[in-house]
Chain A
Amino acid sequence: MSFLNYLINGLSLGSVYAIIALGYTMVYGIAKMLNFAHGDIIMIGSYIVYTCMSMAGLHPAVSVLCAVAGCLLLGVVTERVAYRPLRGASSSLAVLITAIGVSYLLQNIALLTFGAEPKAFTTLIGWKGISLFDGALMIRGTTIVTIGASLLILVGLELFINYTKNGQAMLAVAQDKGAATLMGIDVNKTIALTFAIGSSLAAVAGVLLCSAYPTITPYIGAMPGIKAFVAAVFGGIGSIPGAMIGGLVLGIVEILSRTYISSQLADAIVFGILIVVLLVKPTGLLGKRVMEKV
């Protein structure tokens, strides 16, 4: 029964990775850039919730909305100010390095504003959870909410992309920016929308992450961000279902190896997976091989 417990914990952590990975993979698929500051948006989202609840005394739901709105704005502004001017740059390295710079900038802004000492995050999910098999299997409320939220987000995103005009515009921009322009699609606006969605999801991920691990420091976003990146690559970067599967697998592997192998080796195993995937199937589980035009 304890194995089942660990599995469910893994699913829960994996759901958080999946939500973060969705942001990574969408931005990569549409803007063709790796936004290494994506993890730090999570951290900013957590601080916004903390500020709203502990300092301003707002209702948890309002606080979460504030975090989503704040991160959405932050995502759109960083894209506009830091990434868009580099879109035509001759080397794609320029925007990658800028993203790393934005990541440090956000961490240091948080450090300056909130200090280095960890802040205690009061969980937003009051629900104790459910107990099955006469208490042999306890599933925490946070776990259920996290898994449910990630499923909801996945379904919502699929519906948005396949059945709305803006969703179709995103797909078109992902496949051919020039042809999308000829259809009358504003590529810049579409990319901004992608950042808005990805960053809002990061805010949600931040709330869920801090509900499970209730401490905030300026660096909490870095590790989950990188692991979500591994998840996105594992699932096939650019693929939405791939990010979801990658996130879940990574979360389960991390929790199980922490439990059964070694808590110190867990991260090494997670990153080992990245190396193996890149060696065996460089395009990831659901990624497509991009045919180079001759």
Chain B
Amino acid sequence: MRILEIKNLSVHYGVIQALKEISFHVEEGEIVALIGANGAGKTTTLQTISGLLPATGGEVIFHDTDITRIPGHRLAGMGMAHVPEGRRVFPDMTVLQNLRLGAFSRKDKAEAESSLKEVYRRFPRLEERAMQIAGTLSGGEQQMLAMGRALMSRPRLILMDEPSMGLSPIFVNEIFDIIGRLNEDGVTVLLVEQNAKKALSIANRAYVLETGSIVLEGGAKELMDNEQIKKAYLGE
């Protein structure tokens, strides 16, 4: 079943067209990677899907619903979560307050508490640091917090923007393991990454974005063997 479908999506920043009628889709249960260089339009794509940026053309379909014009704050309640680039935890609040805000759109208080336990189980470090001010966490811990916060809304689809950015190699491996396990537990993931090698290693399929257009698509394994990809993105 198709959980997300992007049809001819265009986005402009003033007169500059950042996305040029791109189309792609994500099936339920998949990890789909969106790879590309700096400025290719990866973050723009995610921000447009989650309603932070207005589309200037095309459609975003989430679970048979056209969400192109739906304001961003309503999507969390519809089962979509977005872990933004640079994590963007609320720096002056505690870890626990950040996590509770993740459940802001939920009405079921008791079940939200069980989600909190679930997040703590997945990220024991967050439980240890529940009362710590989020701005004082390390980069990797902030990434975990941002992911945990997204999980608090019990999403069916998570958009992840550069989860490995600025992290040490050990943390990068840990974060990707966590994404893999999340997916095994039934969460669909749309992953944006500059670290193409890592992204392709856990993704089912991938799309390659270049200056606002999709130039290549295919299975992750197949793309990893593609000579063009090897040269441009894998550094081989």
Instruction: Judge whether B183 is part of the interface by a CB distance below 8 angstroms.
Output: no
Instruction: Judge whether B90 is part of the interface by a CB distance below 8 angstroms.
Output: yes
Instruction: Judge whether A187 is part of the interface by a CB distance below 8 angstroms.
Output: yes
Instruction: Judge whether A178 is part of the interface by a CB distance below 8 angstroms.
Output: yes
The A175-228 residues at the B interface (CB cut-off 8 A) are 175-176, 178-187
Contact present for B73 and A171 (CB under 8 Å)? no
CA distance A176 to B91 in the complex (A): 9
Contact present for B153 and A184 (CB under 8 Å)? yes
Contact present for B104 and A171 (CB under 8 Å)? no
CA distance A175 to B101 in the complex (A): 13
A residues near B77, Cβ cutoff 8 Å: 184
Which of the candidate stretches B1-9, B61-69, B81-89, B226-234 sits at the interface with the other chain? Answer: B81-89
The A140-178 residues at the B interface (CB cut-off 8 A) are 165, 168-169, 171-172, 175-176, 178
Instruction: Judge whether B52 is part of the interface by a CB distance below 8 angstroms.
Output: yes
Bin chain B's interface residue count.
Answer: 20 to 34
CA distance A121 to B51 in the complex (A): 51
Contact present for B149 and A183 (CB under 8 Å)? yes
Contact present for A182 and B82 (CB under 8 Å)? yes
Contact present for A184 and B73 (CB under 8 Å)? yes
A contact patch SS: helix
B residues near A180, Cβ cutoff 8 Å: 73, 101
CA distance A184 to B71 in the complex (A): 10
Which of the candidate stretches B23-31, B92-100, B114-122 sits at the interface with the other chain? Answer: B92-100
Contact present for A175 and B90 (CB under 8 Å)? yes
Chain A: how many interface residues by the 8 Å CB criterion?
17
Contact present for B91 and A169 (CB under 8 Å)? no
B residues near A168, Cβ cutoff 8 Å: 93, 97, 100-101, 104
The B171-225 residues at the A interface (CB cut-off 8 A) are none
Contact present for B104 and A165 (CB under 8 Å)? yes
Chain A-chain B contacts (Cβ-Cβ < 8 Å), number: 64
B residues near A176, Cβ cutoff 8 Å: 88, 90
Given known contacts A183-B76, A187-B73, is B101 in contact with A178 (CB within 8 Å)?
no
Residue of A nearest to B50 (CB): A182
Contact present for B82 and A171 (CB under 8 Å)? no
Contact present for B104 and A185 (CB under 8 Å)? yes
Choose from B76, B93, B102, B153 the contact partner of A175 (Cβ within 8 Å): B93
Contact present for B97 and A175 (CB under 8 Å)? no
Residue of B nearest to A187 (CB): B73
CA distance A165 to B107 in the complex (A): 11
Instruction: Judge whether B105 is part of the interface by a CB distance below 8 angstroms.
Output: yes
B residues near A179, Cβ cutoff 8 Å: 84, 88-90
CA distance A169 to B76 in the complex (A): 14
CA distance A293 to B132 in the complex (A): 22
Contact present for A182 and B91 (CB under 8 Å)? no
Instruction: Judge whether B72 is part of the interface by a CB distance below 8 angstroms.
Output: yes
Most-contacted residue by chain B among A169, A180, A183, A186 (CB, 10 A): A183
CA distance A182 to B86 in the complex (A): 14
Contact present for A184 and B74 (CB under 8 Å)? yes
CA distance A175 to B93 in the complex (A): 9
CA distance A109 to B167 in the complex (A): 58
Residue of B nearest to A171 (CB): B93
Choose from A178, A184, A187 the contact partner of B105 (Cβ within 8 Å): A184
CA distance A281 to B71 in the complex (A): 40
Given known contacts A178-B88, A179-B88, A182-B81, is B101 in contact with A172 (CB within 8 Å)?
yes
8 sample A-B contacts, Cβ–Cβ < 8 Å, listed by A number: A169-B104, A171-B93, A175-B90, A180-B73, A181-B73, A182-B52, A182-B84, A184-B74
With A175-B93, A180-B101, A186-B73 given, can you name 17 additional A-B contacts, CB distance below 8 Å? A168-B93, A168-B100, A168-B101, A171-B93, A175-B92, A176-B88, A179-B88, A180-B73, A182-B72, A182-B81, A182-B82, A183-B76, A183-B102, A183-B104, A183-B153, A184-B77, A184-B153
Chain B contacts to A: CB under 8 angstroms: 50-52, 71-77, 81-82, 84, 88-93, 97, 100-102, 104-105, 149-150, 153
The 5 closest A-B pairs by CB, nearest first: A184-B105, A184-B76, A179-B88, A181-B72, A183-B104
